[in-house]
């Protein structure tokens, strides 16, 4: 699923400044890769959620990617705010990410993304409804 098939999603990615589009596409590839590693039978869905590219699999919680004109040097990975995902991420990786409340991991334009740690966060989100009963989501 490397190619974007949803024209609305493609349009949103194309609307981002080139530097941010490249960073967000890298994050998209991470999500695609993690989903493939989790379960070859799970079908990763991609569509717009709240006007931003969103990703989910059956049994998981939606992940969104975003960039805002009001904060042009930032981009983000958003998680459902009514889950305990970001709270768990803060426990696991308090010094590795900058968080926005209980809904996002925020990156600055020149940040180095800790890929393995972010992949773990993505994995927890894509499995959320299967693991939400476990302490610390089984992390």
Q: Which CATH architecture has domain 7-130?
A: Alpha-Beta Complex (3.90)
> Where exactly are the structural domains of the chain?
7-130
SS3 content of the chain, % helix, strand, coil (to 5): 40, 25, 35
Q: How far apart are CA 130 and CA 122, in angstroms?
A: 14
- Record the pTM: 0.94
Q: How many CA atoms lie within 13 A of 87 on its CB side?
A: 9
Give start and end residues of each alpha helix (H) in 39-75: none
pLDDT 10s digits, 115-132: 999 999 999 999 999 999
pLDDT 10s digits, 3-59: 888 899 999 999 999 999 999 999 999 999 999 988 756 689 999 999 999 999 999
Q: How far apart are CA 70 and CA 83, in angstroms?
A: 26
């Amino acid at each position: 699923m490397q190619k974007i098939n949803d024209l609305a999603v493609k349009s949103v990615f194309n609307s981002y400044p080139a530097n941010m589009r490249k960073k967000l596409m890298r994050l998209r590839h991470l999500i695609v890769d993690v989903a493939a590693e989790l379960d070859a039978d799970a079908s990763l869905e991609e569509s717009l959620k709240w006007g931003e590219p969103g990703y989910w699999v059956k049994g998981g919680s939606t992940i969104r990617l975003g960039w805002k004109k009001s904060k042009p040097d930032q981009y983000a990975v958003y998680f459902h705010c009514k889950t305990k995902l970001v709270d768990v991420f803060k426990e696991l990786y308090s010094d590795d990410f900058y968080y926005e409340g209980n809904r996002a991991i925020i990156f600055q334009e020149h940040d180095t993304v800790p890929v393995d740690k972010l992949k773990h966060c993505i994995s927890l989100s894509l499995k959320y409804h299967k693991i939400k009963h476990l302490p610390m989501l089984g992390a």
